Amino acid sequence: MSDFSRRDFIKTSGAILGGVAVGSILGCQAEQAQDSRWGGFRYAMCNESMAELSWAEQCRIIGDAGYEGVEIAAFTLVKQGVREIGPAGRKEMISAMKNAGLKCVGLHWLLAPPPKGLHFTTPDVAVRRKSVAYLDDLIDLCCDLGGSYMIFGSPKQRNTQGITVEQGKKYFAEGLASVADHAQRCNVKILVEPLGRRTTDVVNTMAEAMELVRRVDHPAIEGMFDFNNTPDETEPFDVLIRKHFDHIYHIHVQEQGGKHLGTGTAVNDYVKTFQTLKDLRYDKWVSLEVFDFSPGGKTIAEESMAILQRIEGKLV
């Protein structure tokens, strides 16, 4: 990775923006002052590519690569369920994050096992209740760790099981509605992640995700955007961002196909979308989520951060 680290990048950018802020005091245009208030992109990394390492080591690698946040796949940390992580364990996790200069962004892969047997849209009422109860446990974990988002992907746990897609969406909405007040009390948003038909048959596009968000109609339930989960979309990334921006509370980034940044063409292909996000003053998290762990967490973290810096360098 280049010696020009992410923290150096932020420091330099901060100095530039600070200069703009001073200019506003001296009477520069209001537009310049508005620009100075945008703090830039905030990058996080998902932890599952390093599940074999200790939590402290995972955090160290992510922090050293220049990320400011970590997004947690809870199933990588437990044998049966998140209640295994008691108050002392949660404090230790927070301490490790702080020592690495990180914040908890939130959770993802919410219903991936362990525990086994969870399913959010099954016609089996008992299983749905069990799955909703576990979502409540995850809300508590997210809150305790200081996270603000929970990304509801979990394709295998929302596939239809002998019912129609519409019935699956109905169960999906009912389950989210039943935990929404709890999430709001904990200052946590649950974000519906559209996934391609290659992985699930329930909610495949941004439009369908927004339909589900509107169906629940609760401030704790919103949407997000994932670069890789767009095979069923018919519009470009930047158009999707503009169309649904008011309900996009998180971004997942990776190469098309799920490998880490730098192994494909994202360094050029994503520039227009990042420019759109900058123009719209997107101020929430961008998380690196990959599905090919073979290069190792350190390589994934460092090479992807280098690409993110190169993309930012092309923005105006």
pLDDT tens per residue across span 219-262? 999 999 999 999 999 999 999 999 999 999 999 999 999 999 99
Q: What is the arithmetic mean of pLDDT over 306-310?
A: 98
pLDDT above 90: percentage of residues in the chain = 88
Give me the torsion for CA of 144, 145, 148, 152, rounded to 10°. -90
Question: Alpha helices, DSSP H only, in the chain?
Answer: 6-25, 30-36, 55-64, 87-99, 125-145, 165-185, 206-216, 237-244, 266-269, 271-279, 297-313
User: Tokens 């008992």 correspond to what residue?
Assistant: 126
Burial readout 259-274 (b: 16 or more C-beta within 10 A, e: otherwise):
bbbbbbebbeebbbbb
Q: Indicate the pairing of strand 189-192 with strand 221-226.
A: parallel
Share of the chain residues as helix, strand and coil, in percent rounded to the nearest 5: 50, 15, 40
Instruction: Using alpha carbons, select from 2, 114, 118, 150 the residue that is nearest to residue 66.
Output: 2
* Separation of alpha carbons 71 and 289, rounded Å: 9
Q: What is the arithmetic mean of pLDDT over 77-83?
A: 97
pLDDT above 70: percentage of residues in the chain = 89
pLDDT tens column, 3-34: 334 444 333 344 433 433 333 333 334 444 44
Q: Residue 44: CA atoms inside 13 Å, Cβ hemisphere, count?
A: 27
Predicted local confidence at residue 37, as pLDDT: 79
pLDDT tens column, 259-273: 999 999 999 999 999
* Separation of alpha carbons 170 and 180, rounded Å: 15
Q: What is the arithmetic mean of pLDDT over 200-215?
A: 98
* Identity of residue 96: A
Q: How sure is the predictor about 36, in pLDDT bands with cuts at 50, 70 and 90?
A: low
pLDDT tens column, 142-173: 999 999 999 999 999 999 999 999 999 999 99
Phi-psi bin for 192: left (phi > 0), alpha (psi -120 to 50), beta? beta
* Separation of alpha carbons 260 and 245, rounded Å: 25
DSSP state of 205: S
Cross-strand partners of 42 = 285
Instruction: Using alpha carbons, select from 88, 85, 214 the residue that is nearest to residue 138.
Output: 85
Mean pLDDT for all residues in the chain? 91
Select from 3.40.50.720, 1.20.950.20, 3.90.1150.200, 3.20.20.150 the CATH code of 40-313.
3.20.20.150
Residue spans of the domains in the chain: they are: 40-313
pLDDT tens column, 127-140: 999 999 999 999 99
What is the phi/psi pair of residue 250, to 5°?
-165, 155
* Separation of alpha carbons 167 and 173, rounded Å: 10
pTM of the model: 0.88
What is the phi/psi pair of residue 287, to 5°?
-110, 135
SS3 44: strand
